Structure 1
Amino acid sequence: MFDLDRQPVNFKNVLIEMKDVSELMVDLAYSAILFESKEIANEVVNLEETMNLLLYQARITSILGARRLEEAESMSGLLQIAEGAERISNAASEIAMVLLKDIRIPAKMRLALPEAEEVTIRAEIEPGCDLDGVIIGDIRLQSTTGMRIIAIRRGRFWTYDPDKETSLKKGDIILAKGPEDGIGPLYRLLGVPEPSEEEEIEQALDDLDRAVLLIVEMKNISELAVGLAYTALLFDSRDIAEEVVWLNERMDSMRLQLELWVLEAAKRVEHVEYLRGLLHMSAFADAICSSAFSIVDVIMRDIEIPPIFQKIIRESDEIISRIEVKEGSFLSGKTLKEASLGAVTGMVVLAIKRGDKWIYRPKKHVRLYEGDYIIAKGRRDGECRLLALCKPEDE
């Protein structure tokens, strides 16, 4: 039987936990593939059971909470969002099952995953380094390096999604995720040499190379789509919702292109079983993007989003912010590369609004100007740092 006493007490808390758990599952699933860890993959599958229980409670709570037609319509929108989060978790669980079923992934795929926009690294805490013996909440790692710890291994045991009270000790193996420019600051805290830059990919790419790079792009787009979907709901923005719809259509085209390249590569690959994993990876990225589409469908069908949804986003582990770049601020006139927001604040920029124009997934060369609105996701202390950078420097 479902134990209500052990679950969140209201719909808001259920949705907060569903959002947090589904995002953690995606991070851990890709980490399991990257580091070939069946332990992490098993944790993803276990978390899927948690999501099933949360969805069950969301359904029960929505039924109990709707007394009038208007309330039922709002509840139906929130329930659709909950089901979208559960679909994301299903996709993450399927990614983990690739590893647990011993479906092979080409080495090129693992080498390419660190080229994604948000990278995952594994590092050991050495005796005497700046992280040895500290509590995560005391160092604000994400807002100072841009990297957030998603798992810690101590001996044979893993701690997933550690909270701010978790301590770090010598010998711990940490999995950290964040923007590429956050790798250096984290390695300096660890007291180890920074990794050398990868050689640039040659111009002449074979079909397998193209397929691998396309999967990395599909991963980036699927994660962007989820971030934009929650942003669209938070600000009740049809413009952002339509961008998610477009990303979903683009994902369908990319998957068809990938299948063609994989079939072409099969003519020249000795062990074609390695190609199965690529097809699975593309299917899961597509499923995550489709889940984001189902979330914004609430907006596209003009279903009312109750004010409680803003609290859900603002109280989850990763919040979404909209901050204006003021005249005379540190960021005004700087490119994203010059500002290095990922390393300085830990916030990931999803979009920039300039007048009536949106710049989605802005590249490092994009310059910020006064009046721009930055849409970013990250931790609350990172939001405070970003706010400070957007204010006039003489304030």
Structure 2
Amino acid sequence: MHRDEPVEYEPVSVKAVLAEMKDTAELLIDLSFSAVLHGSPDLAAEVLTLESRMDVLQLQARMSVMMAARSPEDVEDLAPVLGVVGAAEKISDAAGDIAKVVLEEVGLPDAMRAALPEAVETLVRVPVTDDSSYVSQTLGGINMETETGVRVIAVRREQATGKARWITNPDRDTALGAGDTLILRGFEEGLREVYEVASGDPYESPDSPGAADAALERAVDSIVLMKNMSELAVDLAYGAVLFDSRGVAEEVAELEAEVDALKSRFEAWTLQAAARVDDPVSLRGLVHLASATEVISDAALEISEGVLRGLKAHPVVAEAVEESDEVIVRTVVTDGSALAGTTLGDQEVKTATGMRVIAVRRGDPAGRADGDETATAADESETENGEWEVSPGADTRLRPGDVLIAKGTRAGAERLTAMAGSPEEFEVD
């Protein structure tokens, strides 16, 4: 949307708008960093298109919330909803700033592209040509994710009016058409196959940059870690709202503080690198990335602020999180399940289920699902009840009573809960 394009009130579902805002914000984070990784003006342009869509969504959401407030009690209940709306808009603006590093050629060292493949899954933009075998087929019929490991995370479709429509939650019934632009996520081998079938052109991998100055590498590593922490903070923030969990919200606050500390270290490494590189101006893009990434972590804290202040999350926010593209699920590891006594890597949880475990809360080995209310102080000291392990790795060992918070598809959530042997009450929906 152009800033001067009018947006009039129309009756829309607050839940639907919030769900689309969440999906769009998360897609924007992925797209913007992928634009930097590939040095891709096309991906960066898609970010700005989505950012314009977010402008419309946040105005619609604010107007709908205002219409719903009829008393002081309504105002108190709906205030956290406006906080979530504002936070999603900040994420959108930050992603736009990241994209402009590419579009405006602000300057970015090659070392940034060397580091990002470890920080993000590869995203690729590909048009569907008229003669592609994908035309008129559904994603379920293509069976793309199973056959290639590549997932279509968004579709941009041109309409007769000349305006594009984004499908941010394509499912197995979504049919592809000529002229569609697909946003793909996956590994290079699978992306190569899908890209060629969709476009008829060969997929070109990004060049591998050479070695960089040690201080510059440390500065880049700091940004990569900031990006990972900020993205995790956003995921956990929505989880805190969904499950009304103060413990998860406190982890978001810890991550936000760590991102602030990392930014200070980044500034020190960047100043050292500036004295050693041939063109210090080429480091401007790093400064822009660090600032935008910090904004994302601040926005995550805003999402969870209501929980931290003891305000009950409005049901519409939790319902919107449930209905968004990627669901967040809480499941409990039960005694005798496939996950009990083993590690995430041993069970290849991400590969087997498609779910990314973003946090593990240590529970009661006896099998209590929620250590907060049932465990005594002595229990917590002995068994680490209630402690969180954020962003667990392949070597994280699980035990009965552990609570997992994971993110992924609905089908993946079902597979994960089956592996955990968890009762249905712990699923999102």
With normalisation by structure 2, the TM-score equals 0.78
What's the CA shift for 1:136? 1.8
Deviations 1:346-378, CA, capped at 9 Å, x for gaps? 211110111222111111110122221110011
Q: Distance in 2 between matches of 1:318 and 1:267?
A: 44
Shift in CA distance, 176/282, structure 1 to aligned 2, threshold 3 Å: same
Partner of 1:119: 121
1:86 aligns with 2:89: yes
What's the CA shift for 1:161? 5.1
Deviations 1:85-137, CA, capped at 9 Å, x for gaps? 11111101111111111112111111211101x41154989xxxxx9675323
Q: Distance in 2 between matches of 1:276 and 1:365?
A: 37
1:137 aligns with 2:156: no
Q: Kindly report which structure 2 residues correspond to 1:44-123, keeping only aligned pairs within 5 A, or say none.
A: 44-116=47-119, 118-122=120-124
Q: Distance in 1 between matches of 2:293 and 2:240?
A: 20
SS in 1 for 2:314: coil
Q: Distance in 2 between matches of 1:146 and 1:71?
A: 46
Kept in 2, the 8 Å contact 1:84–1:291? The answer is yes
What's the CA shift for 1:316? 0.6
1:261 aligns with 2:269: yes
Choose from 358, 364, 386 the match for 2:416: 386
Q: Aligned partner of 2:80: which letter?
A: G
SS in 2 for 1:264: helix
Choose from 27, 33, 49 the match for 1:30: 33
1:177 aligns with 2:169: no
Q: Aligned partner of 1:334: which letter?
A: T
Deviates more, 1:298-307 or 1:223-232: 298-307
1:315 aligns with 2:323: yes
C-alpha RMSD of matched pairs (Å): 3.5
SS in 2 for 1:364: coil
Deviates more, 1:252-261 or 1:298-307: 298-307
SS in 1 for 2:329: strand
Partner of 2:314: 306
SS in 1 for 2:400: coil
SS in 2 for 1:102: coil
Q: Aligned partner of 2:309: which letter?
A: R
Q: Aligned partner of 1:94: which letter?
A: D
Choose from 149, 153, 164 the match for 1:150: 153
SS in 1 for 2:122: strand
Q: Aligned partner of 2:121: which letter?
A: V
Q: Aligned partner of 2:395: which letter?
A: H
With normalisation by structure 1, the TM-score equals 0.84
Choose from 2, 6, 16 the match for 2:7: 2
Choose from 393, 403, 417 the match for 1:363: 393
Q: Distance in 2 between matches of 1:306 and 1:215?
A: 34
Q: Distance in 2 between matches of 1:275 and 1:240?
A: 35
Q: Aligned partner of 1:302: which letter?
A: G
Q: Distance in 2 between matches of 1:375 and 1:139?
A: 30
Shift in CA distance, 144/84, structure 1 to aligned 2, threshold 3 Å: farther
Identity of aligned residues (%): 40
Q: Which ranges of structure 2 fall in alignment gaps of 5 or more residues?
A: 1-5, 128-132, 158-163, 198-207, 364-385, 423-429
Shift in CA distance, 358/188, structure 1 to aligned 2, threshold 3 Å: farther
Deviates more, 1:221-230 or 1:319-328: 319-328
Shift in CA distance, 55/28, structure 1 to aligned 2, threshold 3 Å: same
What's the CA shift for 1:185? 7.1
SS in 1 for 2:87: helix
Shift in CA distance, 100/177, structure 1 to aligned 2, threshold 3 Å: same
Shift in CA distance, 76/148, structure 1 to aligned 2, threshold 3 Å: same
Partner of 2:366: none
Deviations 1:42-61, CA, capped at 9 Å, x for gaps? 22112222211211122211
Kept in 2, the 8 Å contact 1:232–1:240? The answer is yes
Q: Which ranges of structure 1 fall in alignment gaps of 5 or more residues?
A: 126-130, 193-198
Q: Distance in 2 between matches of 1:228 and 1:23?
A: 12
What's the CA shift for 1:144? 8.1
Shift in CA distance, 169/309, structure 1 to aligned 2, threshold 3 Å: closer
Q: Distance in 1 between matches of 2:293 and 2:149?
A: 24
What's the CA shift for 1:149? 2.5
